Structures are given as structure tokens and as C-alpha cells.
């Protein structure tokens, strides 16, 4: 049995433009192409599309997806691995949901001080930042890794507590409507810079880039936004201001 592109789009939620792109890059070949360029897909192609969408949900890029598909010969074994990955992601998201729920309950009860640092960051996974950091700042990445390995559990706990407290203070500045060049905001960003320097020492450009990492979609933004809506962008702007007017001064 085969299905037209329109039927596949309706059933999968994938757009026709996306299917054509997958065909163009050799990621998903139709079962057949009829007169007028009408594409049709069979069971095999639909299962391949399912795997593509699963791997996209797991954060893989199209190049990695294609390499994974081309290297797999046992479809059942591959699907079992996807299932394991999805179950792990389900558990992580469940942990994040509980973390956000506790934060919301605490904020509604004006009791943020009752949240322990490990609760604020529970379920937070930054492992996917490692490759980028290793590529963009190799020396600093090594420096930070060495510093992290030297931390005792107590020191790690204290750093998480300090980070949680800094988030709340920045959220208070945001709620008060203070501009990012306000002296009290700059003082808070200076404290954040000093904390980063315990692990590695960013120059002005790297510190501003770190602020952009906080604001881009991902785990860091989730942490900032669960403390206060708009906090991730506010932190990014404040760090860019500090980099430009304090760190970048000759």
C-alpha cells in the first residue's frame, strides 16, 4: 500500500516542503514519483520518516540522522535504541516538570527561599553544550573541566546555591524595571563574572557570547525563565552591557 504526499503530510504533521527537502538531500526517497512529480510513500518510507522525526526530537541534526540511517541495517534494533533514548528523555522531562511545578508553587506562595539549589536545577542537562564549548573555547573548556574536577561536593553545592541566589536578585532587578546599565545591575553581573572566573576566564567577547547561550532555546533559558519570564533575555543584555562597557575598556 502507498500513500500520497498529501496523505503523509496529514498523518504525520510534516509539511510538503519538508518532505521535498528530505527527498532533495537524499534523506527520504519516495517509493515512487508519478506523472507531474506526484510522490508516493510506502510502509518502508513511513517507518523511515518515523525514525527521522524521532531523531529530530532527540536533538540530532539532519547530517547525523542520515549517517545513523545509512549505517543501520537492523531496523528493530535501531528502533529499540530510539525507544531507550525516548524513555530516558521522558524521565528527564518528567523531572523538569516537577522542578518547574515546585518553583511555580513557591513563587505563588512567595517562598522561593524554601527551594534548594539542587531542586531549581533538577533535570537540567547541559551535556549538549560540551561539544560547542570544546570547539569555540578549547583552552577555556579544558580550564573549566580541570576546575570542575577539583570541586568538592560541598563546593559544588555552594556554587549552585550562589547561582540560585544570583538568579533571584537579577529577577528582582527585572521586576523593578532597572536598566541593564544601572549600577546595581552591573554589580550583580560583576559578581556573576567573578563566579565564572573561578572556572575559566572569559574575555569581553566570550562573556557576551555566554550571555547569548543563556538566552537561546535550551536548558539554560528554561532555568532563567522558570525564575521570571524575560529573565534570560535580561541576563543576556546585562552581560553584553558589562562586556562592552567594563571588560572591553582599554
Model-level pTM greater than 0.85? no
pLDDT digits (tens, 9 = 90+) for 185-240: 999 999 989 888 877 788 888 888 888 888 888 777 888 888 888 999 999 999 99
The rounded distance, in Å, linking the Cα atoms of 213 and 4 is 41
CB atoms within 10 A of CB 38: 12
Q: Where are the domains of the chain?
A: 2-71, 84-247
**Pick from 192, 142, 134, 123: which is nearest to 162 by CA?**
192
Helix (H) or strand (E) holding 231: helix 231-242
pLDDT digits (tens, 9 = 90+) for 86-106: 777 776 666 666 666 665 665
DSSP reduced 3-state for 81: helix
Looking at the domain 2-71, which fold is it?
Multidrug-efflux Transporter Regulator; Chain: A; Domain 2 (1.10.1660)
Amino acid at each position: 500500500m502507498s500513500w500520497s504526499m498529501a496523505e503523509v503530510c496529514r498523518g504525520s504533521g510534516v509539511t510538503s516542503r519538508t518532505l521535498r527537502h528530505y527527498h532533495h538531500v537524499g534523506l527520504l526517497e519516495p517509493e515512487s514519483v508519478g506523472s507531474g512529480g506526484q510522490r508516493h510513500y510506502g510502509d518502508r518510507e513511513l517507518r523511515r520518516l518515523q525514525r527521522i522525526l524521532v531523531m529530530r526530537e532527540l536533538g540530532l541534526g539532519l547530517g547525523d540522522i542520515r549517517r545513523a540511517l545509512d549505517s543501520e541495517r537492523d531496523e528493530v534494533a535501531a528502533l529499540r535504541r530510539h525507544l531507550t533514548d525516548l524513555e530516558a528523555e521522558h524521565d528527564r522531562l518528567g523531572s523538569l516538570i516537577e522542578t518547574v511545578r515546585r518553583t511555580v508553587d513557591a513563587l505563588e506562595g512567595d517562598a522561593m527561599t524554601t527551594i534548594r539549589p539542587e531542586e531549581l536545577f533538577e533535570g537540567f542537562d547541559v551535556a549538549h553544550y560540551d561539544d560547542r564549548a570544546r570547539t569555540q573555547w578549547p583552552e577555556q573548556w579544558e580550564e573549566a573541566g580541570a576546575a570542575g574536577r577539583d570541586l568538592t561536593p560541598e563546593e559544588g553545592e555552594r556554587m549552585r546555591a550562589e547561582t540560585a541566589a544570583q538568579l533571584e536578585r537579577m529577577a528582582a532587578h527585572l521586576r523593578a524595571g532597572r536598566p541593564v546599565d544601572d549600577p546595581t545591575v552591573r554589580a550583580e553581573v560583576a559578581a556573576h563574572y567573578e563566579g565564572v572566573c573561578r572556572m575559566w576566564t572569559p574575555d569581553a567577547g566570550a562573556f557576551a557570547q555566554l550571555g547569548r547561550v543563556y538566552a537561546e532555546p535550551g536548558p539554560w533559558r528554561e532555568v532563567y525563565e522558570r525564575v521570571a519570564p524575560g529573565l534570560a533575555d535580561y541576563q543576556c543584555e546585562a552581560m553584553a552591557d558589562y562586556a562592552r562597557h567594563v571588560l572591553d575598556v582599554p
